[in-house]
Amino acid sequence: MPELPEVETTVRGLARVLDGQQISRVALNRADLRRAFPADLVQALTGAQVTGLGRRAKYGLIHTNRGRSMVFHLGMSGRWRIDPDEIGKHDHLVLETGSGHVLALCDPRRFGSVDLVDEAALDAWPPFAALGPEPLGPDFTPAHLQRALAGRTAAVKLLLLDQRIVAGLGNIYVCEGLFRAGIDPRKAAGKVSPAALKRLVPAIVAVLGEAIEAGGSSLRDYAQPSGQLGYFAKSFEVYGREGEPCPCGGTVRRIVQGGRSTWYCPKCQR
């Protein structure tokens, strides 16, 4: 599933050709993705001017001068394609701009979603209302984590995936962040020391920043809107590296937590 860096990279790629443009045509090539497209999507976007793009957690936002934003989620396999040579069978939503660009939302497995939300109501929109702070924003601090994790007996790795605690973190970057901070992913969250949390916040911020600069991580379906792959997977230190050596002299292990794989080094993560 595309995580925060992949969505951020997608939004930045779309902004290069969409920000400030008028949407001249909207085409729906099926009725739904994970759920139905908004009934008035074509009417709401046709002729609208894009006033900005953004991201909240793992959602991308396209703001318009009509006071409504198109909010998209890439699901498991979704990606945007800019000026494709042809429209394929999995290009379910197509936007054309007044300057002649074509943007196609491709989602072979159709686990993504598209919504229209009044901009004034974005913060109260149910998927956003309960989200925690953005990990790249000023509210993501060791003090916030200390308050959120206090007294919690669940594994720290699982709670970092809880979008109510931190918005947008996914499996890849939690594994990598915990490794850089030297924290055992199995440790009860409430027992992670303040000193460790002070290491964890900048570790997560750094790994996300590096991933964005690398265009995200291409594992199966993800590609940037330009068609380029994301190259951060070449920088993984533990994710997907079961049985490989750690620089500390240990060996990377894989365990399952909450139904998902976790990779870590039992020697240097304590």
Q: Report d(CA 174, CA 168) in Å as an integer.
A: 10
Reply yes or no on whether 110 is catalytic.
Answer: no
Active site residue 225: no
What's the confidence (pLDDT) of residue 213?
85
Task: Give CA angle at 148 (111, 164), nearest 5°.
Answer: 20
Q: Which fold has domain 142-264?
A: Helicase, Ruva Protein; domain 3 (1.10.8)
Domain map (residue ranges) of the chain: 4-129, 142-264
Supply the DSSP symbol for 245: B
How far apart CA 238 and CA 244 sit, in angstroms, is: 8
In whole angstroms, what is the distance from residue 215 CA to residue 134 CA?
19
Of 3, 8, 96, 176, the catalytic one is 3
What is d(CA 128, CA 122) in angstroms, rounded to the nearest whole number?
A: 7
Secondary structure in 3-state letters for 136-192: CCCCCCHHHHHHHHCCCCCEHHHHHCCCCCCCCCCHHHHHHHHHHHCCCCCCEHHHC
Spot the catalytic one: 2, 5, 135, 225. Answer: 2
Q: Would you write out the chain's pLDDT as a tens digit for each of its 270 residues?
A: 688 988 999 999 999 999 999 999 999 999 999 999 999 999 999 999 999 999 999 999 999 999 999 999 999 889 999 999 999 999 999 999 999 999 999 999 999 999 999 999 999 999 999 999 999 999 999 999 999 999 999 999 999 999 999 999 999 999 999 999 999 999 999 999 999 999 999 999 999 999 888 876 544 444 556 655 444 667 789 999 999 999 999 999 999 999 999 999 999 999
The pLDDT score that the predictor gives to residue 94 is 98
Question: Could you confirm whether 58 is annotated as catalytic?
Answer: yes
Q: Which residue has the tokens 């920088």?
A: 235
- Which of the residues 187, 254, 260, 266 is marked catalytic? 260
Task: Tell me which H or E stretch contains 254.
Answer: strand 253-257
Q: Catalytic site residue 3?
A: yes
Question: 4-129: what CATH class?
Answer: alpha beta
Q: Which of 5, 6, 8, 58 is catalytic?
A: 58
Q: What is the DSSP letter of 57?
A: T
